[in-house]
Chain A
Amino acid sequence: MTNGHPTRDEDFDLLALGALDGEEKQALEAHVASCADCARKLAQARGRVALLALGAPQKAPSPAVKQRLMAQIRGAASEPPAPAHASGSRVPLPSSATRWWNAMLLVGGVALAALTIFLWHENRDLARQVGALHASLVQQQHAMHEASEVAELVTSQGTVTVPLAQQPGAPAGAAHVMYNKKMGMLMYEGEIQPAPASKSYQLWVVPENGKPISAGVFNPVEGRPDHWMMKLPEGVDAKSFAVTLEPAGGMPHPTGPTILAGSIS
């Protein structure tokens, strides 16, 4: 590597592919974390490598996955398809001594059908309950995981709260970042006026050494605060935080005016 930059661009593809080992991998990852140019090249390499997925034999998921997904987001299991009912065929009545046996078979058949329908209903109800419980469990697990991350960040001794002050001439807004160097975690909470058309806000972590690192692009909705957590790349030691106004979708490095800013004291 020259000045930390890889000598060959293919190294980014090999890193994105996950092929690099040991020191080779660590050195390139550490460099990319502090070099916006190389971070952009790695992003492009990740895109190229992601395309390799298209080399997999095509296999569509079963329609049940979408049904379960939609049921899950509604918090309830989907209705199973209606059961097939009687075919409508008629059994001719016997006219001799076999009539008694046929009558008995008919009674037995009706009883069996009734039992089958009963069991089918029971099974359907149980499946519905299991589906609803599973969906609820997954939701609770996600919520618990998120809550535990927040709790850990908020209660950890090393966490600092950095208020982000509105900059002169910037749209009205206020926010703060909770940052824990040891955990490498930050949480942004804030409320800013919606961005103008074709623009987005972007949060930046300004490290002690190196260039600003993007920590999220967002488009606030009037009256709805934004908040999210993220893990910073390993080895990043944040010095300050800033929100800038950028073209919609954000930029690899800050280009627009600073809206909010704050430093770790």
Chain B
Amino acid sequence: MGAEVRATDAALIERVVQRDEAALAALYDRYASMLSSVLNRILRDTQATEEILQDIFFQLWSRPSRFDESRGSLPGWLLVIARNRAISRLRRHNPAAGDEISENFVALPVNFESTVARKQMLDRVKGALENLPREQRACVELAYFEGLTHSEIAARTGDPLGTVKTRLRLAVETLKRTLHSAAT
């Protein structure tokens, strides 16, 4: 067990390619909770969350070649896939909604293989979001957790489009500064 905990993502993926079930279990243990949290926040549906979570890891098992290091880091890729799937699921109930965001190269600014690093970053992100002005935080949450665009946020909140754009831009600038300093 200790060896699994210390193994890098790349080493575990290589073992998944060799059909090593313990390696997949180790990756699940490392990242399932993080993915489950974001899926559940977007979907607010435990059953749908668990279906998608299981399917993401089953796909990682079935087609590990879909992930390669050119996509950056495994947790970054998994988080993008999880968010895309959850928002797609949400939008199936909303015929007016747009297309799914394509997943691609994702470069996480930190190494998530260590539980300590994950915890530190979790505290940092929560702190950064809590420190945003309320309206900016609301815009970020509507965009990230509900998949809404500028104009959809404006329609939802009743705020002018320009105001929404300014709030999101300011929020993104602040988060970028905060997360950059956390990663260096």
* B residues less than 8 Å from A221 (CB atoms): 17
Contacts A47-B72, A218-B68 aside, 18 further interface pairs with beta carbons under 8 A come to: A14-B168, A17-B168, A42-B105, A43-B72, A46-B76, A46-B105, A47-B73, A51-B109, A53-B34, A53-B38, A53-B79, A54-B122, A56-B37, A61-B50, A65-B32, A69-B24, A73-B61, A139-B62
Of the four ranges (under 10, 10 to 19, 20 to 34, 35 or more), the interface on chain B belongs to 35 or more
Tell me the A residues contacting B by CB distance below 8 Å: 8-10, 13-14, 17-21, 25, 39-40, 42-44, 46-62, 64-66, 68-70, 72-74, 138-139, 142, 146, 200, 202, 214, 216-219, 221, 226, 228, 231, 233, 248-250, 252
A-B pairs, 5 with minimum CB distance: A249-B69, A56-B41, A250-B70, A53-B38, A43-B105
B21 vs chain A, min Cβ distance (A) = 6
Q: Is the CB of B59 within 8 A of A18?
A: no
Report 30 cross-chain contacts, Cβ distance below 8 Å, ordered by A residue.
A10-B169, A14-B168, A18-B147, A19-B149, A21-B149, A21-B150, A25-B149, A39-B105, A40-B107, A43-B72, A43-B106, A44-B109, A46-B80, A50-B76, A51-B110, A52-B140, A56-B37, A56-B40, A56-B42, A65-B50, A66-B28, A66-B32, A70-B25, A73-B61, A214-B105, A216-B70, A217-B70, A231-B102, A249-B70, A252-B105
Contacts A46-B104, A52-B125, A53-B34; A14 near B172 (Cβ below 8 A): yes
Q: Is the CB of A68 within 8 A of B33?
A: no
Chain B residue with Cβ nearest A13 = B172
User: Of A58, A59, A70, A250, which is within 8 A of B21 by CB?
Assistant: A70
Interface string of B20-35 (1 = CB under 8 A from A): 0100110011001111
B87 vs chain A, min Cβ distance (A) = 8
Q: Is the CB of B176 within 8 A of A13?
A: yes
User: Of B14, B63, B76, which is within 8 A of A47 by CB?
Assistant: B76
Q: Is the CB of B21 within 8 A of A61?
A: no
Q: Is the CB of A43 within 8 A of B149?
A: no
* A residues less than 8 Å from B144 (CB atoms): 17-18, 49, 52-53, 55
* B residues less than 8 Å from A66 (CB atoms): 25, 28-29, 32
Q: Is the CB of B126 within 8 A of A54?
A: yes
* B residues less than 8 Å from A142 (CB atoms): 59, 62-63
Q: Is the CB of B58 within 8 A of A72?
A: yes
CA gap between A200 and B10 in the complex, in Å = 12
CA gap between A51 and B25 in the complex, in Å = 23
A29 vs chain B, min Cβ distance (A) = 9
Contacts A44-B107, A52-B129, A58-B33; A10 near B143 (Cβ below 8 A): no
